[in-house]
Amino acid sequence: MVLNICQRRCSVLIPKLVLILLLAIVPGKGQCSRITTETIGKDLTVVRGAVNGILLDRHGKRLAVYGDPRPETGDVDVVLFTHHRRDVVWAGRSLVEQGARAVVPAREEALFNQVDTFWSDFQTSRFHDYAQQTSKVLCQNLPVARTVQGGDTFAWQGEKLRVLDTPGYTRGAVTYLYDTEGKTLAFTGDLICEDGRLFDLYSFQDAIAEAKIRGYHGHAGRLGDLMTSLRKLAAEKPDMLIPVRGPVIRDPQAAIDRLMGRVRALYDNYLSIDALRWYFGDDHIQIKADRVLGQGATVNWMPMGETYPNDLPAWIIPIGNSRLFVSSDKSGFLVDCGSEHIVKTLKDMRSSGRIKSLDGIFITHYHDDHTDRVSEVVSAFGSTVYAHRNLVDLLEHPSAYRLPCLTTRPIHVSGKLDEGATWQWKEFALTVHNFPGQTLYHDALLVKKDQGETIWFIGDSFTPSGIDDYCLQNRNFLGPGQGYQKCLDLMQRMPSNAWLINQHVKPAFRFTSEQRHRMKDTLQKRFTLAQAVSVWDNPNYALDESWVHFSPYLHQAQPGKVSRCVLNIMNHSTTVQTFEPTLHLPKGWTVDSLTPESVVVPPQQEGAVEVQFTPAKESPAGVYIVTADLQCGQKDLRRWCEAMVTIDP
């Protein structure tokens, strides 16, 4: 049995179970958004709170779009949902539980009434996850009375609402069009907000079938769908847009035009230094460009970097996506190990006398294709595993995290390295650096051969065509001293003769000073462009889905015994921020302490709220999905992040 709550994080693989939710809110200071109402026409009211609710009254009955964010609500006959995300659906759930009929998009029906299956599967599917389609899934099933899709008309009390398919923010989202008093109102969900902005960008991550790109590599892949949806919406010539968040939009065409222009500018910037151009070629980039920028759009690509003659120095041996460097006495040192093929090749090399030992393994980042077989190599060769300290916890406890491409295999790190640590191995001087490129949890190893080449093993962070930031869930931050700008600053200080090795790229390569400056300038401009398209005071909130997360993500608890976990909150703002969490627990569960109840976090640092809670003594075995609300200033974020709590039989 899988039981649902709403609060926090944990760690461990367990078998598939069934999902149930027993919900009780644990009040917090942040549970009180300012509520305002606005009447539009004779019988339509917009209620603005943490999210918006639209209420239409006819003949003594009431229809709601999105729901009603007020704590106390009246009777509602039907609720129209535009998309499935729990940070929106909460406003309509209580109405449905009180008897209202739920109308949902047909393409997302399973994400309303079959979420028990999703969460049961997700216990294992969150590992080796290359789909990246898990944003804000409901914690419990919601009964569905009817599904709708584009072209449908929903009739109610003599009124008709037309349905328009408007995927983008989610795969199957719809918009409802309502003609009243000579005006057309569009209820657009999260398709657009404010003066032409998006609530976030990470929710657009998806596969791009035309370019043969899976979800992991599809940086904001549904922006193409968004542009198509916006054009369809504009063609309806609505007089007013009422999104699920923010104010009513009274000049729809101007807002749509602004959003489309902002998205084009941001995506053009992204494509200009896209690492995938090296892997898949210009045609691949052009397909992506056509979807967002327009057919035949021209991309101002950065010229390719210089590649090493004959691919690699003789002392470096490529094995799959690992690299082995070998000393003059035939001792070996490996960078990453993610496949059985690599392990077998190393054993064969030892048997043939090509290497006599494997003294060390350096891990550049946590992704499964770089880590899955590290422990096997250690068992076979007795190697020391080296990693930067900022990566150690993730390597040793991967199930405690919710990130793309997680391995199920913990790795014991015997060589924990501080930033800038340097040591001599044979005829090589080795230096480790934090290198938050492809992912926030990423490092690099600088190797200087005595009287030979200088090589920088950078994991997956660059190719000759640019930067590998194609998965938004990898946590690629923008801004001075962060993410790729930090990497480029470090690169600028490296020896000018250093070559870079990305283990998925056959040759070593390097950039000119002009190319490095161009990438940095592109990223600086990207910060401004992302700021323009998002609703936040810093665009990293829109790029970083994990800015609030539980630790551990999967957590074992026992009935009647105190459990402990942490809510981590990254303040991406440039000013001090105060965050107030509110937790949701199953009936009978108690919060023993929340320390602090509100946390003050300095700019661009992470704060933490320590939580102690006790499951009810009669809690049956199962998996409980826990969520937390968060309030900061005017932002009131409901059911914002989740974790799994398991109770074993």
What's the mean per-residue pLDDT of the chain?
93
511, 529, 557 — which closes off a domain? 511
Instruction: State phi, psi for 138 to the nearest 5 degrees.
Output: -55, 150
Banded pLDDT at 7 (limits 50, 70, 90): very low
Asked if residue 199 and residue 65 are part of one domain, the reply reads yes
In a 3-state reduction of DSSP, which class is residue 53? strand
Asked if residue 429 and residue 359 are part of one domain, the reply reads yes
Asked if residue 497 and residue 401 are part of one domain, the reply reads yes
CA 277 – CA 287 distance, rounded (Å): 11
What pLDDT digit, counting tens, does each position of 529-542 carry?
999 999 999 999 99
316: pLDDT strictly greater than 60:
yes
Does 619 map to a domain? yes
What pLDDT digit, counting tens, does each position of 41-90 carry?
888 999 999 999 999 999 999 999 999 999 989 899 999 999 999 999 99
Asked if residue 191 and residue 78 are part of one domain, the reply reads yes
What pLDDT digit, counting tens, does each position of 383-408 carry?
999 999 999 999 999 999 999 999 99
Asked if residue 351 and residue 413 are part of one domain, the reply reads yes
Please compute the mean of the pLDDT values over residues 460-477 and round it to a whole number.
97
Banded pLDDT at 25 (limits 50, 70, 90): very low
5: pLDDT strictly greater than 80:
no
In angstroms, what is the C-alpha Rg of the chain?
Answer: 26
1: pLDDT strictly greater than 60:
no
Look at residues 499, 449, 494, 80 and name the one whose alpha carbon lies nearest to residue 311. 499
- As for how many domains the chain has, the answer is 3
232, 265, 298 — which closes off a domain? 265
Percent of the chain with pLDDT over 70: 95
**Domain of 72, in residue numbers:** 52-244+246-265
Asked if residue 384 and residue 253 are part of one domain, the reply reads no
Banded pLDDT at 585 (limits 50, 70, 90): confident
Banded pLDDT at 135 (limits 50, 70, 90): confident
Asked if residue 556 and residue 504 are part of one domain, the reply reads no
Does 597 map to a domain? yes
Count other Cβ atoms within 10 Å, centred on residue 279: 15
Banded pLDDT at 134 (limits 50, 70, 90): confident
Asked if residue 548 and residue 478 are part of one domain, the reply reads no
CATH number at residue 599: 2.60.40.10
Q: What is the pLDDT of residue 586?
A: 78
Asked if residue 431 and residue 378 are part of one domain, the reply reads yes
Does 420 map to a domain? yes
pTM of the model: 0.94
Q: What is the pLDDT of residue 12?
A: 31
CATH number at residue 167: 3.60.15.10
Asked if residue 91 and residue 225 are part of one domain, the reply reads yes
10 within 8 A of 555, measured Cβ to Cβ: yes
Asked if residue 220 and residue 137 are part of one domain, the reply reads yes
Does 531 map to a domain? no
Please compute the mean of the pLDDT values over residues 494-509 and round it to a whole number.
96
Banded pLDDT at 32 (limits 50, 70, 90): low
Does 12 map to a domain? no
DSSP assignment string, 4-49: E-BS-----------EEE--EEE--TT-----EEEEETTTEEEEES
